[in-house]
């Protein structure tokens, strides 16, 4: 990236005329030429068209995101680019209009650089993308291309989505910032549905400040932006249920993060989660399977043989879930969400793992979202903050979790934590 600019710096320089969108896009394309043959983050990219758009933006564009290149996960509709949803069923599909988040980015002056690889319908069947730090390891999923593209320096900002752990996990594996907002903060119309009460649009960036800036524009919430004043968050460290899934690298990383935060004077105290919350992992699985079976009924009806075995098994299981079991899962989530403020009493945010460990070796799977499912079910804001590494030198993120609707505080706390870990 030009001078390793952050998106915020690039936006300021484009606004004052010291940088053009064309120059920034050219720098991105140079990086893509260098890294894409190995990383394979892009599903659709027209370099000539990108440069043409950059020139048009330089002449006629306006808005807070003027000239900033953005990657769009290929589960999100774009009217001027193919949208394949990671499935051969839609490999030639071109939507009639942009998804709301894409349209809002364009209205704010952003340049949609291309479509990034997603897993099949944003579930677990991997795409072609490889981890930018080790091509023999997974980048995570389902927002694999977006995380890898940002972490590789191919693009400063990208959209992702999360239904279980599809933003936080790949951000951790690839070593960039992943921000899953409070459920519904960013409009998701035009995003192929998977599970209606879980699907959340979020963003990837190289810094928390960039992620907050991007989301603030798309969501129309300027208060999300990171302020210059010093914020010293009170942090509750929690080892969530299914802690046995944490690899030694993650356990050490969480302890290291707490120690580093303590050395700069931030308050970090252990927090135990309510016993009743132990059931939230299974509740999220139940909700996801039940809703996915219904949202993918058209594909099951007309082309079930062209779906991966992983997806077909989930959809078939979802059909068999009794409505009362689904309702009970939703009720448990609602109860836990209502009591979340009590768990955070005395703290600004929780600190917890982003993933079980470093990115696993091999490309046949995308890793386990075990440390993401509960927070996604609750719909609360989550940010994966990079800065730590595991025993093989691969990135490990820590996850910052905030109260429902209090994304501003969660982002500000994440920025402070990120500064301590960098």
Q: What confidence score (pLDDT) does residue 228 get? A: 86
Which SS3 state, helix, strand or coil, does residue 127 take? coil
The average confidence (pLDDT) of the chain is: 97
SS3 state of residue 272? coil
pLDDT at 142: 98
The residue that leads in pLDDT, 185 or 230, is 185
- Residue 229 pLDDT > 90: no
The mean per-residue pLDDT over the stretch 119-142 comes to 98
**φ, ψ for residue 305, nearest 5 deg:** -70, -15
| 213-227 average pLDDT score | 97
d(CA 47, CA 29): 7
Domain containing residue 66: CATH number: 3.90.1300.10
Whether pLDDT at 197 is above 80: yes
Measured CA to CA in angstroms, residue 140 lies from 112, 149, 209 at distances of 23, 13, 23
The model's pLDDT over 240-265, given as tens digits with 9 standing for 90+, comes to 999 999 999 999 999 999 999 999 99
Banded model confidence at residue 303, pLDDT cuts 50, 70, 90: very high
What pairs with residue 237 in β-bridges?
A: 270, 351
Element (H, E) at 254: helix 248-263
pLDDT average, residue stretch 76-100 = 97
Neighbours of 319 (CB within 10 A): 13
Sign, CA dihedral 294-296-301-305, equals negative
In terms of DSSP bridges, do strands 395-401 and 69-73 run parallel, antiparallel, or are they unpaired? unpaired
Confidence of residue 403 (pLDDT cuts 50, 70, 90): very high
Give the integer Cα–Cα distance in Å for 282 and 370. 10
Tell me which residue has tokens 């992943």: 178
The residue range of the domain holding 126 is 1-422
Residue 54 has pLDDT above 80, yes or no: yes
Say how far apart CA 192 and CA 194 lie, in whole Å.
7
Mean pLDDT computed over 78-93:
96
pLDDT of residue 422: 84
Angle at 139 between CA 165 and CA 21, to 5 degrees: 100
Cβ partners under 8 Å of residue 406, min gap 6: 182, 381
Please report which confidence band the pLDDT of residue 402 belongs to, taking 50, 70 and 90 as the band edges: very high
Distance CA 336, CA 51 (A): 49
Per-residue pLDDT, 4: 72
By annotation, the residues acting in catalysis are: 73, 142, 166
Cα distance between residue 18 and residue 59, in whole Å: 14
Q: How far apart are CA 81 and CA 293, in angstroms?
A: 28
CA dist., res. 358 & res. 386, Å (int): 12
Mean pLDDT of 52-70: 98
- Which pLDDT does position 230 carry in this prediction? 87
Q: How far is CA 299 from CA 210, 294, 305, in A?
A: 37, 10, 9
As a whole number, mean pLDDT of residues 407-422 equals 96
User: Rounded mean pLDDT of 167-195?
Assistant: 98
DSSP structural state of residue 187: -
Domains: count for the chain: 1
Residue 193 per-residue DSSP state: P
| pLDDT tens sequence across 332-346 | 999 999 999 999 999
Whole-model pTM above 0.85?
yes
Contacts of residues 219-228 at CB distance under 8 Å and 24 or more positions apart, as own/partner, are: 219/181, 219/185, 219/186, 220/104, 221/185, 221/407, 221/408, 223/408, 224/407, 224/408, 224/411, 226/411, 226/412, 226/415, 227/412
Task: Report pLDDT digits (tens) over 34-47.
Answer: 999 999 999 999 99
pLDDT at 135 over 70: yes
Is 349 in a helix, a strand, or coil?
strand
Report strand pairing: 200-205 vs 177-180.
antiparallel
Closest CA to 36 of 124, 132, 108, 114: 132
Sequential DSSP letters for 291-330: HHHHHTHHHHHHHGGGS-HHHHHHHHHHHTS-HHHHHHHH
User: What is the per-residue pLDDT for 302?
Assistant: 95
**Which pLDDT value is given to residue 173?**
98
């Amino acid at each position: 990236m030009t001078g390793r600019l952050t998106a915020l710096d690039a936006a300021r320089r484009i606004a004052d005329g010291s940088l053009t969108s064309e120059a920034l896009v050219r720098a991105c394309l140079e990086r893509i030429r260098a890294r894409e043959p190995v990383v394979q983050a892009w599903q659709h990219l027209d370099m000539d068209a990108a440069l043409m758009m950059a020139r048009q933006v330089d002449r006629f564009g306006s808005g807070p995101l003027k000239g900033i290149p953005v990657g769009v996960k290929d589960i999100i509709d774009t009217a001027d680019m193919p949208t394949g949803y990671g499935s051969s069923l839609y490999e030639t599909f071109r939507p009639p209009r942009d998804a709301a988040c894409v349209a809002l980015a364009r209205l704010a002056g952003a340049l949609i650089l291309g479509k990034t690889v997603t897993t099949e319908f944003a579930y677990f069947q991997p795409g072609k993308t490889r981890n930018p730090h080790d091509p023999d390891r997974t980048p995570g999923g389902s927002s694999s291309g977006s995380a890898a593209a940002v972490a590789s320096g191919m693009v400063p900002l990208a959209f992702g989505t999360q239904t279980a752990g599809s933003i936080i996990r790949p951000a951790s594996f690839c070593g960039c910032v992943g921000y899953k907002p409070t459920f519904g903060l960013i409009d998701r119309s035009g995003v192929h549905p998977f599970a209606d009460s879980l699907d959340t649009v979020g963003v990837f960036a190289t810094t928390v400040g960039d992620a907050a800036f991007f989301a603030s524009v798309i969501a129309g919430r300027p208060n999300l932006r990171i302020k210059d004043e010093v914020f010293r968050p009170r942090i509750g460290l929690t080892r969530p249920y299914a802690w046995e899934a944490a690899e030694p690298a993650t356990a050490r990383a969480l302890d290291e993060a707490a120690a580093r935060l303590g050395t700069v004077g931030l308050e970090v105290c252990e927090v135990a989660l309510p016993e009743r919350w132990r059931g939230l992992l299974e509740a999220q699985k139940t909700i996801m399977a039940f809703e996915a079976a219904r949202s993918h009924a058209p594909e099951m009806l007309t082309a079930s043989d062209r779906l991966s075995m992983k997806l077909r098994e989930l959809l078939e299981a979802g059909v068999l879930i009794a409505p009362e079991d689904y309702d009970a899962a939703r009720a448990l989530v609602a109860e836990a969400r209502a009591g979340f403020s009590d768990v955070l009493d005395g703290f600004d945010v929780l600190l917890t793992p982003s993933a079980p460990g470093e990115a696993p070796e091999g490309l046949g799977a995308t890793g386990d979202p075990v440390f993401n499912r509960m927070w996604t079910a609750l719909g609360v804001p989550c940010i994966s903050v990079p800065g730590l590494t595991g025993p093989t030198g691969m990135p490990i993120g820590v996850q910052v979790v905030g109260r429902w609707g209090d994304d501003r505080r969660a982002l500000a706390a994440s920025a402070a934590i990120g500064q301590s870990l960098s």
